[in-house]
């Protein structure tokens, strides 16, 4: 399973990439707005940090013509840019249109298996089920990820399942068990994945014993 960082923060991205653990990045209008930087230089920097990993850049138009126009511009930002379109009627049309022109699209804000089926038929490169936001309304987000993985497997769809709105390490484990191709997560969740109190306690004990012995490597 690939790991993407769900952030537009270049410091986090540089650190994740330096660890060798980041395969790509997803952004959205809220994450971009948080950075308070001009759009184009920010996304160019993100794409160059993460290259050759994919970087999702989202349209803000909501009509078909606007999404296609913005999608074409976003696809020009860098070779690893993937256009993100919302899962609406116009968004599906835009996915069909952009993907038929060779532009890769991540279809976002997916909350049902029927939406995901249509998105795959439209030719999306990635489908983004938002599991945390389903959990927020007392629906089991991971059930959706499982359903989509199963449907895509049954029909051999090439669309990759990108588990999004991940809030904690258990989401990552469950997404991996479900067979999601990608999990996108905040930097804080990536850090949680590598922490274990028994690792810290064990390391301290080893080093205390070593230091007491006076031995050297």
**Residue 181, interface with ligand G3P (CB under 6 A)?**
no
Per residue, the 3-state secondary structure of the chain, as one string, reads CEEEEECCCHHHHHHHHHCCCCCEEECCHHHHHHHCCCHHHHHHHHHHHHCCCEEEEECCCCCHHHHHHHHHHHHCCCCCEEEEEECCHHHHHHHHHHHHCCCCEEEEEECCHHHHHHHHHHCCCEEEEEHHHHHHCCCCHHHHHHHHHHHHHHHCCCCEEEEECCCCHHHHHHHHHHCCCEEEECHHHHHHHHCCHHHHHHHHHHHHHHHHHCCCC
Q: Please give the residues from 157 up to 176 whose contact with ligand G3P meets the rule CB under 6 A.
A: 164-165, 167
When the beta carbons of 77 and 134 are compared against ligand G3P, the nearer one is 134
Q: According to the binding rule CB under 6 A, does residue 66 interact with ligand G3P?
A: no
Instruction: Please report whether residue 26 would count as binding ligand G3P according to CB under 6 A.
Output: yes
Count of residues interacting with ligand G3P (CB under 6 A)? 10
- Does position 28 interact with ligand G3P (CB under 6 A)? The reply is yes
* 69 near ligand G3P, rule: CB under 6 A: no
Q: What residues act catalytically? A: 84
Report, in Å, the least distance between residue 134 CB and ligand G3P. 9
**Binding footprint of ligand G3P on the chain (CB under 6 A):** 6, 26, 28, 130, 132-133, 164-165, 167, 184
């Amino acid at each position: 399973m690939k790991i993407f960082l769900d952030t537009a923060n270049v410091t986090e991205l540089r650190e994740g990439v330096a660890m060798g653990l980041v395969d790509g990045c997803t952004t959205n209008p809220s994450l971009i707005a948080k950075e308070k930087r001009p759009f184009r230089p920010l996304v160019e920097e993100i794409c160059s940090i993460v290259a050759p990993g994919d970087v999702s850049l989202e349209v803000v138009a909501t009509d078909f013509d606007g999404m296609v126009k913005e999608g074409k511009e976003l696809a020009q930002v860098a070779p690893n840019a993937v256009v993100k379109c919302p899962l609406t009627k116009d968004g599906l049309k835009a996915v069909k249109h952009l993907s038929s022109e060779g532009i890769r699209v991540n279809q976002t804000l997916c909350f049902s298996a029927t939406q995901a089926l249509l998105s795959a038929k439209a030719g999306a490169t990635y489908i983004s089920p938002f599991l945390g936001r389903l959990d927020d309304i007392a629906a089991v987000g991971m059930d959706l990820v499982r359903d989509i993985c199963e449907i895509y497997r049954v029909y051999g769809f090439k669309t990759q399942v990108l588990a999004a709105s991940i809030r904690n390490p258990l989401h990552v484990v469950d997404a991996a068990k479900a067979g999601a191709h990608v999990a996108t997560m905040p930097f804080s969740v990536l850090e949680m994945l590598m922490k274990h109190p028994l690792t810290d306690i064990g390391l301290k004990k080893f080093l205390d014993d070593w230091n007491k012995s006076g031995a050297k490597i």
